[in-house]
Amino acid sequence: MGQLNAGIVPVTPFQQNCTILFDMDDKHGVVVDPGGDIDKVLAVLKDNAIIAEAIWITHGHIDHAGGAMELKEALGVEIIGPHEADKPLLDNLENQGRRYGIAGARDCVPDRFLSEGDTVSFGSHVFEVLHCPGHAPGHVVYYNRAAKFAHVGDVLFRGSVGRTDLPGGDHAALIASIKDKLLPLGDDIGFICGHGPGGRFGEERRTNPFLT
């Protein structure tokens, strides 16, 4: 098995980090959170000869899931995740698109919802699913124990945390998700998040003003 690698394609006016996770050797991988700008995502896959086997969704917000159906049709792959608690959000993406001026956003129907303790994988890269509500009720985090890596979506950011003023948001639940599920994985876990630069859990545990 090759090393796990990640490439980021900023999508939508929200500059969301659509993330391509792939194996360095065989170039098979997955696309996490294709919120929009699918032409751009497809071009990056093609230019780098990456074969996407699935689409993984962290949560049902438009900047993360609005382009998932278009990408699914273009690639002929399944949409996996998030947790079923985000179904009301996924069913409302066209409306959200109109509201936020994001053309082409479509309601998202995953092929499979995920629950705490599930695993998802491509090749030999296995990711544990952590249900981390707070920013969105059905938010999931994808954690690769072997690579000491997590894709945390909009749960945690470098120096900040996800907003909780949107429908279904719950600040206490968000902080509990971070403190009880993410930080115990270890200070050396590297993360990619939905917006802005990633980091390491240890740095957030020590310096993130929302956690100290």
Which of 154, 192, 193, 199 is close enough to bind Zn ion by CB under 5 A? 154
Q: In this complex, which beta carbon is closest to Zn ion, that of residue 137 or of residue 194?
A: 194
Q: Which residue is nearest to Zn ion (CB)?
A: 61
Interatomic CA distance for residues 182 and 41, integer angstroms = 28
Q: In this complex, which beta carbon is closest to Zn ion, that of residue 29 or of residue 36?
A: 36
Interatomic CA distance for residues 167 and 52, integer angstroms = 32
Which of 36, 66, 194, 198 is close enough to bind Zn ion by CB under 5 A? 194
**Residues 23 and 122: beta-carbon distance below 8 Å:** yes
Amino acid identity, position 133: P
Q: In this complex, which beta carbon is closest to Zn ion, that of residue 122 or of residue 191?
A: 191
Which of 23, 63, 70, 107 is close enough to bind Zn ion by CB under 5 A? 63
Print the binding letters for residues 98-137 with Zn ion: x by CB under 5 A, - otherwise: ----------------------------------------
Strands 51-56 and 78-80: parallel
Interatomic CA distance for residues 171 and 61, integer angstroms = 17
Amino acid identity, position 143: Y
Q: Which residues of this chain interact with Zn ion, rule CB under 5 A?
A: 61, 63, 154, 194
